[in-house]
Amino acid sequence: MEQVITIGRHVKGYHYIIANLGFVDGDLSKIQYGGANVSGFQIVDFDDPVVAKFDQRWEALEEKEYPGADTRIRYTSALTYDAVHVMTEAFRFLHKQRIDMSRRGNSGDCLANPAVPWAQGVEIERALKQVRVDGLTGNIQFDQYGKRVNYSVTVMELKNNGPVKIGYWNEVDKMVVTKSDLYPNDTMGMENKTVIVTTILEAPYVMLKKNAEQFQDNDRYEGYCVDLAAEIAKHCGIRYQLRIVGDGKYGARDAETKIWNGMVGELVYGKADIAVAPLTITLVREEVIDFSKPFMSLGISIMIKKPQKSKPGVFSFLDPLAYEIWMCIVFAYIGVSVVLFLVSRFSPYEWTLEEPEDGALPLTTESTNEFGIFNSLWFSLGAFMRQGCDISPRSLSGRIVGGVWWFFTLIIISSYTANLAAFLTVERMVSPIESAEDLAKQTEIAYGTLDSGSTKEFFRRSKIALFDKMWQYMKSAEPSVFVKKTSEGVLRVRKSKGKYAYLLESTMNEYIEQRKPCDTMKVGGNLDSKGYGIATPKGSTLRNAVNLAVLKLNEQGLLDKLKNKWWYDKGECGSGGGESKEKTSALSLSNVAGVFYILVGGLGLAMMVALVEFCYKSRAEAKKMKMKFTDAMRSKARLSITGSTSENGRVPVAYLRPGLPMSLSMTDLS
């Protein structure tokens, strides 16, 4: 240890294990305040009653007659004492067994070849193995091979106030750490020391102010973690100095050199006292540093470039129902009309006998059925459009057809109406990626993580098939999909035109989504659940004080207040309220243009059908009346316009009832 002090390697960042069983025997005062982590072992437990009783007897002896009686017994002396004690107990056992230990008649020959053992040696060995006593070095007993077993060694560590017991080791439990002894719940001596707080430039956690050159020290920075560090320092009563990590990394261990980098490395190697940053709590980090309770919960999420909003189509009002449903509705409409026509033809209750009115001539008497094929189509269409019809089925079979068709249209129209508002008032964005499964099953869109971070470590260590598949892709992708900084990953997403997805913590994803140019978005749920914690070196006196401060801030609601301040209150993209909400709630002409097209098209079709009917009927009348086609058209046109086919406004008898004898008078017809 003298050599260590001479070369200056006794400062913070160095670790030593004293490889003997008497940690408190040496003078550790010179290295005690250097800052190095010094550990060792102690086989003599001075709190043990056997040792305490021996100390009283030892210190009561005269120092002149017994040199060293004024000091604690060293571990080598304790082992010697126990060795004599074991021999005493062994020979006492042999004496009780009345075994002759004299060497008369068996002096032995040391030069004999082969060697001749001492006859009583076997008995002595057997007696030694059976000894079981409590000595100065604890329980003493041996196995069948003469090896000491069932003993315990205290594990010690050098603190500012001297050697401290931090645990023990034995063959059964192995290493057992006593946490309560390892981490004292105080910050004694910290009030006169400036605590070094390592952090990382990462918006919105830590950012340089716009006019940072006009400020000094901590006043140059702003952000969530800057405010959090100030609150924690206030609760712990300490002075602190913010220091940006040199390599700009969070902290990961190199697979070859086993050396930690980033903020974790600064804590491990004693360059900083505390880390206040978006540092994820992970198992590998917890093995070398300590974390407080999480001050923020989060998970790994997917960031992609925000897709362009899809423009509403001319027939966007058809979107609430799939095209398959529309086709099925058309076929159902035709099928119901045909079935209604058939059951009406076969059911006698749908046939009615037409009789002449009172006073009219009994010209003809015939049975009629209102539900011809066209009337059946018209009835089905009227029911589907919820408008009704001037005819209705009379037979039970026809009413059953009508009833089930009404029920069908009730459900379809209600479902359509419920979805129509959402489809027409919200401009939907079609995203090619909706989840991690979508990413894993395609190769067109590359995806990656931050290098030297917990997200990359999550995929590397994951045993889940999906995440392992994603890791295999990421580590073999060319060019590399890993980035050195989060800002680099975000820039890559923005410039990739939708061909790169970035995997990062959900909190950072949500923050960037609120920053201009507002062209990124979070898709899918979180891939895992974890938290950010404040880190301290192993054994730091700040650990418990920081932990209590975080819990208190959480109970006071200050952590949520800080997040709202830096995420949403300072957001630049809006939250979907105000003007944007009014803009999306009003329908534009493009949303319903298709309805107008159908209306105009239907009106045009009706006029064309009317013209065809006009020509067809005129041709038929011309043949019956044996007149020219043009005259028939002229006569029908006059009827359509004036309501009369003759120039004097009267309707000829033959025209009114074609097929009647021309000899009938108007009186007979009336």
- Residue numbering of the annotated binding site for L-glutamate: 278, 280, 285, 454-455, 505
- In degrees, rounded to 5, the angle at the alpha carbon of residue 645 between the alpha carbons of residues 642 and 647 is 80
Q: Contact at 8 Å (CB) between 402 and 393?
A: yes
Binding residues: 278, 280, 285, 454-455, 505
Rounded to a whole number of angstroms, the CA Rg of the chain reads 49
**Three-state secondary-structure class, residue 35:** strand
Q: Contact at 8 Å (CB) between 265 and 252?
A: no
Length of the chain measured in residues: 670
The 10 Å Cβ neighbour count of residue 590 is 12
Residue 651 carries which DSSP code? Answer: P
Termini Cα distance of the chain: 137
Instruction: Return the structure tokens found at 470.
Output: 């994603």
Task: For residue 624, report the phi and psi dihedrals to the nearest 5 degrees.
Answer: -70, -45
Give how far Cα 44 sits from Cα of 40, 49, 75, 121, 166, Å. Answer: 13, 11, 6, 31, 15
Report the alpha-carbon distance of residue 560 to residue 208 in Å, rounded. Answer: 22
Q: Contact at 8 Å (CB) between 276 and 534?
A: yes
Q: Contact at 8 Å (CB) between 545 and 187?
A: yes
Long-range contacts of 239-243 (CB under 8 A, 24+ apart): 239/191, 239/193, 239/194, 239/195, 240/194, 240/195, 240/196, 240/197, 240/274, 241/194, 241/195, 241/196, 241/197, 241/217, 242/197, 242/199, 242/206, 242/217, 242/218, 243/196, 243/197, 243/198, 243/199, 243/272
**Three-state secondary-structure class, residue 253:** strand
Identify the CA nearest to 511 among candidates 313, 223, 198: 223
Long-range contacts of 639-646 (CB under 8 A, 24+ apart): 640/614
**Three-state secondary-structure class, residue 133:** strand
Give residue 87's identity as a one-letter amino acid code: M
**Three-state secondary-structure class, residue 397:** helix
**Three-state secondary-structure class, residue 158:** strand
